Amino acid sequence: MLKVLKFGGSSLADAAQFRKVADIIKSEKERRYIVASAPGKRFSSDIKITDMLLDCFEHLYDEEYTDTSFTAIENRYREIISDLGLDYSLEEEFKNIRTAFVNHAGRDYFASRGEYLNAKILAKYLDYKFVDAGSCIFFNNDGSLDTEKTNTTISKVLEKYEYAVIPGFYGSMPNGTIKTFSRGGSDITGSLVARAVLADIYENWTDVSGLLMVDPRLVENPKTVSEITYRELRELSYMGATVLHEEAIFPVRKAGIPINIKNTNAPEDKGTMIVSKAITESSENVITGIAGLPGFTAIYIEKDMMNSEVGFTRRVLETLENHNICFEHLPSGIDTMSIVLRSDDIKDFKGNITADIVKKVNPDSITLLDNLALVAVVGRGMISAAGTAAKIFKALADANINIRMIDQGSSELNIIIGVEEKDYIAAIKAIYNKFVNEE
Ligand code: ASP
């Protein structure tokens, strides 16, 4: 059994958190490869080290500002080291980073130093080998990840060490300079390491006990999802549910490695298991989660006999392509079709698009509906549970909410409903209550 663990910023924000992390790691000898984030917030108004570093970079030409800000960063690390009682110094490293400031090194280099320094401390504290991500995670010149080189290098390097700490969030470019992933990217590092060492599980340690069925800002105290498939998670994250960096799913998914979202502050909680194939055929409440997003626009097109007009849809979609716009959903009837788009994407060319569609397909009518919100009800259990859709519609009808659009994905994994933005939160609440509280 081999486990790869990634600890997020709040799990490594100060010495007290470092102690919890070490206890977790040392409690199982299978917990061998550890990916560390930069120190995050210790309290809500605190600033993450990554943000402090980026701020330093923004003021690179203001030496006094950079000096004071970087001293504050150094002090956070010094405090962790002394509070842990470590006989260890990062002073040389600080000096190197200061020199890089003077030499105007790149933005990503500075951003990455947060994880670099934190992983050094963690490796020392655990007495594990420190392995620099810059020497085993590689990007191509176009900025994409060199997946195979990364995979073989990580596995070759880690083969030499039974236990190691690797900083998250960055790798190197073909010319050796440092490049980071997008924000939150340590999740991706963890996933890459897990795949490369063929881990049995990728434990992603954070400050919540897993994914919640619904955004807790919308529904009070929602249930935690105990098991979710990668596909279900994809549907929910697309609609705004966040628990993990979106791109972190792919490496482990490819290798069939489950992810366990765990809470550093409540390690006994089971958390959420993200798996390729769920052990339970359906979530306890049939639905696994609900997520929603406002800010959509629908274009409704009607034309008699449109279904027998060859190339009709293509011509409509071509107008979007010409404006370089992606559509989100395309529910269609016999003589009607609707295109759901992100309002922000089309706000500058609404008139042009409808005029183009009229020119191309000469519809009987075309209407634009703004202020639409989409609500996705996701659950692998829907395939086998009759009446799920009826229950959703009943919940909305009881709450007096008008449904403007319905779309069931061909995977039968989700039902997407369009409602007016003003009804969006009420809709999510109503659906949650129907499935969770009325059973
Ligand atoms: N420290 C980086 C950030 O704040 C990366 C990470 O934590 O995953 O985005």
For the ranges 23-37, 218-232, 238-252, 292-306, which has the lowest average pLDDT?
A: 238-252
Q: Per residue in 145-183, pLDDT tens?
A: 999 999 999 999 999 999 999 999 999 999 999 999 999
Whether 223 maps to a domain, the answer reads: no
User: Domain check: are 304 and 402 in the same one?
Assistant: yes
User: Domain check: are 175 and 62 in the same one?
Assistant: yes
Residue nearest to atom 6 of ligand 1 (CA): 184
Q: Per residue in 340-352, pLDDT tens?
A: 999 999 988 888 8
Q: Per residue in 32-61, pLDDT tens?
A: 999 999 999 999 999 999 999 999 999 988
User: Domain check: are 259 and 336 in the same one?
Assistant: no
Domain residues for 127?
Answer: 3-208+243-275
- Quote the pTM value: 0.88
User: Domain check: are 196 and 330 in the same one?
Assistant: no
User: Domain check: are 422 and 368 in the same one?
Assistant: yes
Query: From the alpha carbon of 185, which atom of ligand 1 is closest?
Result: 8
Whether 418 is in the pocket of ligand 1, judged by its Cβ within 6 Å, is no
User: Domain check: are 254 and 151 in the same one?
Assistant: yes
In the predicted model, is pLDDT for residue 112 greater than 70? Answer: yes
Q: Contacts for 328-332 with beta carbons within 8 Å, 24 or more apart?
A: 328/296, 328/374, 329/374, 329/405, 329/407, 329/416, 331/405, 331/406, 331/407
Q: In 3-state terms, what secondary structure has residue 100?
A: helix
Which one is predicted more confidently, 198 or 329? Answer: 198
In the predicted model, is pLDDT for residue 63 greater than 90? Answer: no
**Taking a C-beta distance cutoff of 8 angstroms, is the pair 238, 183 a contact?**
no
Cα(231) to centroid(ligand 1), Å: 24
Whether 216 maps to a domain, the answer reads: no
Residue nearest to atom 5 of ligand 1 (CA): 184
| The pLDDT of residue 268 | 97
CB-CB neighbours of 111 under 10 Å: 25
Q: How many structural domains are present in the chain?
A: 2
In terms of C-beta density within 10 A (0-12 exposed, 13-18 middle, 19 or more buried), how is residue 82 classed? exposed
Q: What is the CATH number of the domain that holds 419?
A: 3.30.2130.10
User: Domain check: are 268 and 294 in the same one?
Assistant: no
In the predicted model, is pLDDT for residue 410 greater than 80? Answer: no
User: Domain check: are 52 and 125 in the same one?
Assistant: yes
